[in-house]
Amino acid sequence: MPLSRLFLRAVLFSFIMISSLLAQSGSGDLAGTITDLNGAVIKRAKIVVASEVAIGVNLNTETTDSGDYAIVSLRPGIYTVRVSAPGFTTVEHSGITIRTGQRTRVDIALRAGGSDQVINVSADASLLTTESGALTTVIGRESIATLPLNGRNMISLTTLAPGVSLPPGTLLPRINGGRPRTNEYLYDGVSALQPEPGQVVFFPIIDDIDEFAIMSNGVSAEFGRFNGGIINVTTKAGTSAFHGELYEFLRNEALNARNYFTPTSSAKPLFRRNQYGAALGGPVLPRRLFFFADYQGTNQAVGVVRTSTVPTLAQRGHPDANGNPTTGFNFGSTNIYDPATTVQNGSSFTRTQFSNNTVPRNRVDPAALALLARYPLPTSSAAANNYVRVGNDIDHQNQFDIRLDAQITDRDHAFARYTYFHDVEQPVYPLPDGSGVISGTILSTGNVTGLSRTLGQQYVANEIHNFNLRTVNEARFGYTRRALGRSGALLPTTASSALGIPGIPTNAAFNSALPVFAITGLTQLGSSSSTFSNFSTNVTQIFDMVSRVQGKHALKAGADLRWEHLDAVQPPNPTGNFNFSTLFTNQSGITNSGNALASFLLGQVNTFSIDLQNSTIRPRAHIAELFFQDDWKATSRLTVNAGIRWTLNFPSTEVHNQGAVFNLATQQYQYLGKDGFSRSARELHYGNFGPRLGFSYMATPKTVIRSSYGLIFIEQTGITTPFTTPQFPFLQTVQQSTLDSIHPAFVLSNGPSVSPIPLTADAGLGQGVFTVNRKLGSGYVQQWNLSVQHELMRDLSIEIAYTGSVITRVGIPDVNMNQLTVSQLAQGSSLTATTANPYYNQIPASSSIGGKTVSVAQLMKPYPRFLTVSAFRNNTGRTNYNTAELKMEKRTSYGLTAMLSYTHSKLMDDASSVFDSSILTGPVANYPVADSYNPSLERDASLGDMSNITVGSVVYAIPMGKNHRIASTGVMSWLLGGWNVNGLVTLQSGMPFAITQATNFNAFAGFGTQRPTINGSANLPADKRTVQHFINTAAFSITPQFKLGNASRNPARGPAYRDLDLGLVKNTQLGDRLTLELRGEVFNATNTPAFAQPNATVGVANFGSITATTADPRVVQVAGKLRF
């Protein structure tokens, strides 16, 4: 039996024996010390903790010999603590808030007297964090329910935590220097993050969130698998009373401002958005079983205008009412020549011109004639941009949750939750049959290229068992799934059958997709090549924890086990791409002759290519983590936190061994699970021990000094083996092209003749291949902080912190190592000369290096028989982050709740994301680095570096109406009472961006990019920046061939972002239990444009100018809620 399997069983056995894991749930702890008035500890004092919304029986414990007590895994909420001991009066302390991911400390001093005497205290615990060195910001229920949230998404509120940045137009935040796709998202303790490419399955409905915490630095050993931070969400549970709400939120273009770049003369495009839903919770069995359920639907329609170029009426033969041509196909003044009359003379040729530049009907290829009918008739007489299609991009979302909580016995509490999310996005295609390339679509995910369906589901089950007054076990199971399917223009049967074109190979899926017919000068038939995909991921998670209070120690031990599955069918071009040009209807030596549509009508195919994937790729991975945590109350002022987490990232495998690794030594493929080669491309590393250490010291009753350090392991490459998504040779691009640019590759109605490369050791010859460094270990982040927190008054605190992190072995994109050196490049033009190819007849003729001759540069490369040789997801990068942070928090009192955060930071890296947009559908063979042999050239300010971020929020209940001095009764109370004003302000400095040049003159030598030459500063003074000229374009020039430019990776910085969102809420009481809430919200109230980064290509006309925005102009939303 393989060692890894034996080891996994040992880990599972250990898991069963120690019965471990905690509150990665959205829970909190309560702890304190019971003394008399002189400070002497009281042993065996009875503690009773009761929720003030009472969903079940009370929780009981007693103090230890040191007078300490602790209760773990409490749901966030308001609690009352009752303390009694013989010879002392009883104290009942109410109004204590338990918050997600935090330990609340409540110390109580008892007065001598009879226990039948009760002293009532009503006050929340201090805002000071005295039990941990971790930096955590909790967003409470009132802020979530009241603040204006664009899209009703909680992510908008994450920036209230210092160290969190969220560029406009994005969904995933960057937390304390980590990458956006490698934060952890915990919903009731279960991860909602899918392994590849780091997508969140869904975001909870706002009305389902009780509260959530942003855990940004220094978290305890119970948490792992992140390199930035954790967003820890607690969902709502039912209570002992029925409660619920109905709501609808509305938007309409009539209330919105224009986009900055929309001409004032044109009408605002249609924009309609409706979000509606309901929630209901209450008891099923009094004091035993409770439920909470909610639903939200979203309908959005965005008006768009698609402009395309289709054949003119003359080019279509002046069709009749049924679309049949009535004449020949005329091309006007463009001279077209008959390919059937081609007479070749060396490299030149002659052809006979068609009479009147008209293709006779009897000469048209039958397959081409049928395809021509798929084009709509033009809507104008122009030769180009002559077809306009107006419609609405549609987005429909449906989401619901149902949760049951059960108090099984006085010792056992359990809950279960199921969440369902479904999103359907339907864009307007350029052509009615679904053909054409879509650009500029803005829906919930943005820029979908075809019909997109996303399904997200999560199952959670949790059980807490109290063994005794000091020992608690919490067990949890979670299953989370995300499925994404995209499709475009379809046919009733397979492409060959439906179109009458034999020989089109079939794939694992999408064989009824309409192939792409790319005709130069026209909108293509068929959808974008990347439209079709079926992609699903799921994660099964088991964890369980034992917590015990032993004297002044709060001990936790646990395990976190996860199984990750991924299934992918993603041939970017599943039924082929037929390319047509002017080559076969032009005349040698005559410019502007020939027409691509004429070549198409005559069936003259220039190039055919297709991506072949025979079966679904099914990677599988599992992770086992064990942890131990000790929170030690060393003295009345000092708490020490110490822990360790052991991470085992078991190398992933593929169900049917569909993966291959290029061996650099033998220059051949090794197939997983074949000929003695491992089923996995990486090795298991046993030494991933991550220590955690922190302290909290109360310097004065109002000042706390805190610090912590932690090392957290994460598999930076996700579930990757090198086959996360289909790739060569299990995904192959095969093609058939013209051999001489005089004769076609084949005639359309005869079909192509292509076949895949056999899966042999030499299958990579003439291709781009991928290797893997098997010995590279898991990535890890080291985080540290030092903070001072001071309580200015009972409900107002300020915290100043320094935080830092270093991410080591961070994933970097695929870099081509089959590159010339800089000194070789300096040889100049001799490199581009051709010479006899010594590998002719070894390399497939279809390869660009398989001909009789090849460039001198190709033969000088380290691997001359291959195009590119890349290390797949090579986690060798490094990120540094340092920041100074400030946070002020005003807890609700006198109707006012507020929070303010400021971050000043610097983020440096050598690759800003392994998940580059172009990599999401598979590896990139030649990622744009300046020199593969000199990675130091990539070290620069990160694309995610935001030097300064200020975010503030305020919720204020105007003190008028019932229970206030002003307008407390009568009609005035009804009119003036119940008003709330709220706001959210965001100020972010601009982020760096890359500047490139249009042509990489050194691509022939294997260089991934050629950066421009810079002389001076790339940035202009603030008073010189305009939309038309935002950067110093004069500082840049095009770098000539055989040279490397001296511009850094990200030499310029883009525009800042300013946003103010305002809300006005009116609550009106309707009887004893009904409340009507009317709400008006304005997003981007100042209508400040959120400018995109400037156009960054040297040498193009709009270089340095800004032509787009990344977020909405001013948007008004109105809403109504009925609560009971």
* pLDDT bucket at 724, cuts 50 / 70 / 90: low
Segments in 945-1049 forming alpha helices (H): 970-976
In terms of pLDDT, which residue wins out, 460 or 97? 460
* pLDDT bucket at 397, cuts 50 / 70 / 90: very high
Check if the beta carbon of residue 959 is closer than 8 Å to that of residue 895.
yes
Confidence at residue 65, expressed as pLDDT on a 0 to 100 scale:
86
Record the pTM: 0.90
Average pLDDT on 52-75 reads: 79
CA–CA separation, 649 and 498 (whole Å): 48
Confidence at residue 447, expressed as pLDDT on a 0 to 100 scale:
58
Query: What's the pLDDT tens digit per position in 150-205?
Result: 999 999 999 999 999 999 988 899 999 998 888 999 999 999 988 766 789 999 99
CA-to-CA separations, 503 to 321, 496, 754, 772, in angstroms, rounded: 33, 7, 8, 36
Phi, psi of 937, deg, nearest 5: -65, -15
Q: Which residues are registered as beta bridge partners of 299?
A: 274, 396
Element (H, E) at 790: strand 779-793
Element (H, E) at 909: strand 896-909
Q: What percent of the chain has pLDDT over 70?
A: 93
Strands 118-122 and 108-110: unpaired
Provide CB contacts within 8 A for 1099, sequence distance 6+: 997, 998, 999, 1038
Which two tokens mark 479?
Answer: 């299953």
Confidence at residue 727, expressed as pLDDT on a 0 to 100 scale:
72
Average pLDDT on 1003-1015 reads: 95
Report whether pLDDT(15) > 90: no
Selection from 394, 415, 414 nearest residue 403 by Cα: 415
Average pLDDT on 579-588 reads: 96
Selection from 78, 81, 88, 99 nearest residue 23 by Cα: 99
The 3-state DSSP class for residue 168 equals: coil
CA–CA separation, 232 and 224 (whole Å): 12
Confidence at residue 330, expressed as pLDDT on a 0 to 100 scale:
97
List of domains in the chain:
3-126 (2.60.40.1120)
Average pLDDT on 856-885 reads: 92
Confidence at residue 916, expressed as pLDDT on a 0 to 100 scale:
41
Average pLDDT on 936-941 reads: 94
In terms of pLDDT, which residue wins out, 87 or 908? 908
Report whether pLDDT(868) > 50: yes
Check if the beta carbon of residue 213 is closer than 8 Å to that of residue 136.
yes
Confidence at residue 924, expressed as pLDDT on a 0 to 100 scale:
47
Residue 89: how many other CB atoms lie within 10 Å: 17
Report whether pLDDT(445) > 50: no
Average pLDDT on 44-52 reads: 87
Q: What is the DSSP letter of 261?
A: T
Selection from 704, 699, 663 nearest residue 681 by Cα: 663
Average pLDDT on 964-977 reads: 82
Query: What's the pLDDT tens digit per position in 738-775?
Result: 989 999 999 999 999 998 989 999 999 999 998 888 88
In terms of pLDDT, which residue wins out, 398 or 926? 398
Phi, psi of 952, deg, nearest 5: -140, 150
Confidence at residue 114, expressed as pLDDT on a 0 to 100 scale:
76
CA–CA separation, 627 and 561 (whole Å): 12
Selection from 1079, 1083, 1074 nearest residue 1113 by Cα: 1083
CA–CA separation, 504 and 494 (whole Å): 9
Identity (one letter) of the amino acid at 487? S
Selection from 649, 632, 648, 641 nearest residue 691 by Cα: 641
In terms of pLDDT, which residue wins out, 13 or 558? 558
The 3-state DSSP class for residue 180 equals: helix
Check if the beta carbon of residue 661 is closer than 8 Å to that of residue 651.
no
Angle value at C-alpha 696, between 83 and 639, nearest 5 degrees: 55
Report whether pLDDT(964) > 80: yes
Confidence at residue 716, expressed as pLDDT on a 0 to 100 scale:
53
Least confident of 11-20, 245-254, 555-564, 1094-1103: 11-20
Confidence at residue 926, expressed as pLDDT on a 0 to 100 scale:
52
Q: Tokens 């991550």 map to which residue?
A: 690
Residue 620: how many other CB atoms lie within 10 Å: 17
Report whether pLDDT(10) > 90: no
Q: What percent of the chain has pLDDT over 90?
A: 66
Query: What's the pLDDT tens digit per position in 283-329?
Result: 999 888 999 999 999 999 999 999 999 999 999 999 998 889 999 99
Element (H, E) at 858: helix 856-860
Average pLDDT on 603-621 reads: 92
Residue 1016: how many other CB atoms lie within 10 Å: 9
Phi, psi of 807, deg, nearest 5: -100, 125
* Average pLDDT across the chain, whole number: 90
Least confident of 175-179, 569-573, 1006-1010: 569-573
Check if the beta carbon of residue 781 is closer than 8 Å to that of residue 807.
yes
Average pLDDT on 107-128 reads: 79
Query: What's the pLDDT tens digit per position in 882-936?
Result: 999 999 999 888 889 999 999 999 999 988 765 443 333 344 445 688 999 999 9
Average pLDDT on 1015-1037 reads: 95
Selection from 782, 808, 1000, 802 nearest residue 885 by Cα: 802
CA–CA separation, 182 and 314 (whole Å): 56
